[in-house]
Amino acid sequence: MGRNITPTVEGGLLVAITVILGLVTVYVPLIGMLVEFFCAVPLAVLTARQGAGKGFTALVVTFILLSMLISPILAVRLALSFGICGVALGWLVRKNFDAVRIFFITLVVSSAAQILSFGLLIVVMDVNVIDTQIEMVRESFEESFKLYEDMGVGQEQIAEAKSQVEPALEILVLLMPTLIMLTALINATAVYLTAQWIFPKLQMKIPKLPPFAEWKLPSLFFYTTIFGALGLYWGFTRDWVGIYEISLNLLIVSAIIGLIQGFSLLSFIFDRYKFSKLVRQIIYVVLILNMFLLQIVAITGLIDMVFDYRKKIFNRRE
């Protein structure tokens, strides 16, 4: 912001920008999905410049304005999904935290915000988000089946596909905690990356994460994978529904973390042996399109958390 702009005016402008971005998110198809990721940036800038108090005040004002202009439900979603993450990130930058701590704490805040958002919708507004989402998925499948019928697909094939939908939806319900975590991860990543892009343009500094090839995630997830697999077996064989559900989510989350670590290791190998961008892209596409290979990458990543291939194998050859 310019030097002649007072903190109050600056705060008002950033709130106005946040509200405009929120309106675009709701009322402009497709583009709004992209703009949504930028909703946290003005609040992050304001908090980094003027402190957490001004940031939270701006967040409350933004929520009130969006509630008046669109709806309280959508305002709650935007405020909790991105607004509070922006305030948290701005405060962390103001306190000169390193990049890893900024991202991790933003992720924790995003996770708590997602849980709070679901709780408010269920308890206060009497909106069962889980049932609503499952019903939307079910309707989407039904529309797909009608389209297949119009295309001349056989009734037996359609009936077989329909028989697989309900079990899949039941698994989806069990995986709601994982889906909430993934939503929080996407939100935190979006907030951090957009802030990392915008802050330098405003002559503001924000720490950068280490190169992806150097990432080393906690070995804890290797052990949670083992506990998740054992719990899944015990829950299934002894009909312990609660243990089964917890273990399933624990196993999926651990596998996702292992997948990230596996791709980090793969990126390290690409850098070490100087693979071209084209070869890298081809390998990534092949891996992403093959579920078996993705599992191999995830398992390799989980083992790397404990064994550390980069240190024990590659560095030893030097």
DSSP assignment of 182-229 equals HHHHHHHHHHHHHHHHHGGGGT---PPPPPGGG----THHHHHHHHHH
CA distance 24 to 33: 9
Question: Which CATH number do you get for residue 32?
Answer: 1.10.1760
CA distance 170 to 172: 5
- The residues, ordered by sequence, that sit 6+ positions from 157 with a Cβ below 8 Å of its Cβ are 148
The residue-averaged pLDDT of 232-251 equals 86
For the chain, the helix, strand and coil percentages under 3-state DSSP, each to the nearest 5: 85, 0, 15
Are both 113 and 224 inside the same structural domain?
Answer: no
Q: Which of 54, 44, 33, 114 is nearest to 81 (CA)?
A: 114
pLDDT tens, 194-222? 988 889 888 888 898 899 998 999 999 99
Exposure string of 220-254, with b = 16+ CB inside 10 Å and e = fewer, is ebbebbeebeebbeebeeeeeeebbbbbbbbbbbb
Whether residue 137 is contained in a domain is answered as no
The predicted structure's pLDDT at residue 295: 92
Are both 194 and 283 inside the same structural domain?
Answer: no
Are both 24 and 120 inside the same structural domain?
Answer: yes
Are both 46 and 85 inside the same structural domain?
Answer: yes
- Looking at 202, 235, 250, the residue that finishes a domain is 202
Are both 187 and 227 inside the same structural domain?
Answer: no
Whether residue 164 is contained in a domain is answered as no
Work out the number of other CB atoms within 10 angstroms of the CB of residue 106. Answer: 26
The maximal CA–CA distance of the chain, rounded, in angstroms, is: 72
The predicted structure's pLDDT at residue 6: 77
Contact status, residue 42 vs residue 194, Cβ threshold 8 Å? no
CA distance 54 to 60: 10
Work out the number of other CB atoms within 10 angstroms of the CB of residue 161. Answer: 14
Are both 232 and 301 inside the same structural domain?
Answer: yes
Contact status, residue 77 vs residue 31, Cβ threshold 8 Å? no
Whether residue 259 is contained in a domain is answered as yes
Helix axes 176-198, 155-174, angle to 10 degrees: 80
Whether residue 161 is contained in a domain is answered as no
Whether residue 141 is contained in a domain is answered as no
Are both 15 and 82 inside the same structural domain?
Answer: yes
Are both 293 and 187 inside the same structural domain?
Answer: no
pLDDT tens, 52-91? 888 899 999 988 998 888 877 778 878 888 889 999 999 9
pLDDT tens, 294-313? 999 999 999 999 988 888 76
Higher local confidence (pLDDT), 236 or 157: 236
- The residues, ordered by sequence, that sit 6+ positions from 250 with a Cβ below 8 Å of its Cβ are 224, 227, 228, 231
Decide: pTM greater than 0.85. Answer: no
Are both 198 and 231 inside the same structural domain?
Answer: no
pLDDT band at 266 (very low <50, low <70, confident <90, very high): very high
Total domains present in the chain: 2
Whether residue 149 is contained in a domain is answered as no
Are both 245 and 119 inside the same structural domain?
Answer: no
Whether residue 198 is contained in a domain is answered as yes
Mean pLDDT of the chain: 84
**Parent domain of 113:** 7-125+178-202
SS3 58: helix
The predicted structure's pLDDT at residue 130: 64
- Looking at 146, 168, 202, the residue that finishes a domain is 202
Are both 185 and 55 inside the same structural domain?
Answer: yes
Measure CA of the first residue to CA of the last residue in the chain; give whole Å. Answer: 50
Are both 45 and 186 inside the same structural domain?
Answer: yes
Whether residue 143 is contained in a domain is answered as no
Please determine, for residue 260, whether its predicted confidence score (pLDDT) is greater than 90.
yes
CA distance 5 to 122: 42
The predicted structure's pLDDT at residue 314: 67
CA distance 74 to 60: 14
